[in-house]
Amino acid sequence: MNALKIESTGINPLTITIEQAKERYNLGTSTINKIAADANAIIYIGRRKVFLVPKLDKYMEELAN
């Protein structure tokens, strides 16, 4: 199976994959999953797990303050 290519288009996405979240927040898989669960930012589309960017960003901002 070919690797997913992640390209920046300058558009702020509503959802991102685990790989994009790891790159965006510079965190590991289990940490992203814990934070996303705490932020209630996980949604499933079929078997695919994606993360809601606005909820993750808001949660990260609250942690920083």
- What does pTM read for this prediction? 0.80
Q: What is the pLDDT along the chain (65 residues), one digit of tens a residue?
A: 566 555 666 778 899 999 999 999 999 999 999 999 999 999 999 999 999 999 999 999 998 88
CA distance 48 to 50: 6
Lookup result for tokens 């288009």: 9
pLDDT score, position 65:
85
